[in-house]
């Protein structure tokens, strides 16, 4: 019997992970969407930010560049995307803290972050795990903190189905 994976990798297959960034730049307006998220979040100097499902670090790095005095963390379950993220962080010469962990069991204390961001993670999770991820996000979010999500739902046409 074939073992079921603990998670769905970027682009659905591990062997496609290295192509994630070029594919996303082509089919998804991530720069524009991330910039809108950053403006909406209005992250201030010294605030703690957690990117849940940070993937290759694209959004995490843009958040840190937008507010260099923020303390920015990224967490993802997939060690392969975290390797890509770490390389991008090193090339960017910025300081980010990455951890490998599940979005449903965040390795942080209660009330720790001012902002939680998550981009294109929820559609990978079954409903029960979506609920657990959101419970974890609110657990580590400070009272009055803010949750910012970017995602999409069920495909309604062929182009969204292909994505």
Please give the model's pTM, rounded to 2 decimal places. 0.78
Q: What are the start-end ranges of the E strands in 29-156?
A: 48-52, 71-76, 97-100, 113-119, 141-150
| pLDDT tens digits along 41-82 | 899 999 999 999 888 888 899 899 999 999 999 999 888 889
Contact between 118 and 41 under an 8 Å Cβ cutoff? The reply is no
pLDDT, position 2: 39
Most confidently modeled range among 18-22, 30-34, 137-141: 137-141
Q: What angle do CA 86, 65, 23 make, to 5 degrees?
A: 55
Enter the tokens of residue 64. Answer: 């840190």
Structural domains of the chain, ranges and CATH numbers in brackets? 10-162 (3.40.50.150)
Integer Cα distance of 163 and 160 in angstroms? 5
Half-sphere exposure of 68 (CA within 13 A, CB side): 4
How confident is residue 13, by pLDDT bands cut at 50, 70 and 90? low
């Amino acid at each position: 019997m074939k073992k079921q994976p603990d998670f769905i990798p970027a682009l659905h297959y591990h062997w496609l992970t290295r192509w994630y960034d070029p594919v996303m730049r082509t089919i998804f307006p991530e720069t524009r969407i991330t910039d809108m998220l950053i403006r909406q979040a209005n992250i201030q100097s010294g605030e703690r930010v957690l990117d849940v499902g940070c993937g290759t670090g694209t959004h995490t790095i843009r958040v840190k560049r937008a507010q260099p005095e923020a303390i920015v963390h990224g967490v993802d379950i997939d060690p392969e995307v975290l390797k890509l993220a770490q390389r991008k962080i090193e090339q960017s010469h910025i300081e980010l803290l990455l951890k490998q962990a599940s979005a449903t069991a965040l390795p942080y204390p209660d009330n720790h972050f001012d902002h939680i961001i998550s981009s294109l993670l929820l559609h990978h999770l079954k409903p029960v795990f979506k609920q657990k991820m959101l419970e974890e996000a609110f657990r580590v979010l400070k009272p009055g903190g803010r949750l910012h999500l970017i995602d999409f739902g069920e495909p309604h046409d062929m182009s969204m189905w292909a994505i």
